[in-house]
Amino acid sequence: MLKVSNLSKYYRDVKAVDGASFFVNNGEVAVLVGPNGAGKSTTIQSIVGILRFDGKVTIDDHDNRSLAAKQLLAYVPEIPSMYPLLTVREHIEFMSLAYGFDIDNDKIDALLHRFELFDKQDKLGNELSKGMMQKVSICCSLVVDPEVIILDEPMVGLDPTAIKELKQLILELKNDNKCILISTHMMEMVDSLWDRLILMKEGKILSNATKAEVGDQDLEALFFDLLKDDETVGVEYE
């Protein structure tokens, strides 16, 4: 389970996130949405430990700065970055070793096949297209069997086959009781996936509600409705 409690972040005098609190349960796909500048990236970068912040973030009750939390958490950044002199396969092997796992060749083969990277496994990081980097980044996050997975704009730059596989994988992770948080502008891409809507505006959480709580509307309509009224919906959580 992911819990964010009273998260605030200033960039000099800009308050990018203002006391944000929300949670994502195991077995849930949460979407983090909001207009540009709402504070989504800052929130995600705080959760994954890239930024310092005020407040508390826990992963299965472990403080997000602890090793125990980091071992449970995987992150697919919006802009993937590769090691220029590691091959595709070596990236995934390296991630397995960094998380303290043995290299599982069958598992790596399956991921490479799934994302149509098997015949590209010997390409170097600096030889990859943006879409290929994104797919490697997704494979790296999945090979470590995370309990909580954070995906920042994961569909951008992916081809239709990869989008289909990723959606299927997200549903498999959910059925496996994992906790998934997706930040995205591409609401039509996650409409069939989401269980919980976390809406941010001006650094604050406007909604943290399940599909059952907000009704069976499509996500885009709901987004505009909630923003129009500045309506707060869902569970208050400190």
Residues that bind ligand ADP (CB under 6 A): 11, 14, 16, 34, 36-42
Q: How far is the CB of 16 from ligand ADP (least distance, A)?
A: 3
Give the up-direction half-sphere exposure of residue 91: CA atoms within 13 A in the CB hemisphere: 31
Task: Return the amino acid letter for 119.
Answer: D
Residue closer to ligand ADP by CB (options 40, 91) is 40
Torsion sign over Cα 142, 144, 150, 152? negative
- 219: closest CA among 229, 232, 210, 206? 210
Q: How far is the CB of 143 from ligand ADP (least distance, A)?
A: 27
First to last CA, the chain: 15
Residue closer to ligand ADP by CB (options 14, 68) is 14
Q: How far is the CB of 43 from ligand ADP (least distance, A)?
A: 7
Residue closer to ligand ADP by CB (options 27, 49) is 49
Residue closer to ligand ADP by CB (options 62, 201) is 201
Torsion, Cα of 102, 108, 110, 113 (10° steps): 180
Q: How far is the CB of 4 from ligand ADP (least distance, A)?
A: 14
What backbone phi and psi angles, to 5 degrees, belong to 79?
-110, 105
**What DSSP designation does 123 have?**
S
Q: How far is the CB of 60 from ligand ADP (least distance, A)?
A: 25
Residue closer to ligand ADP by CB (options 17, 88) is 17
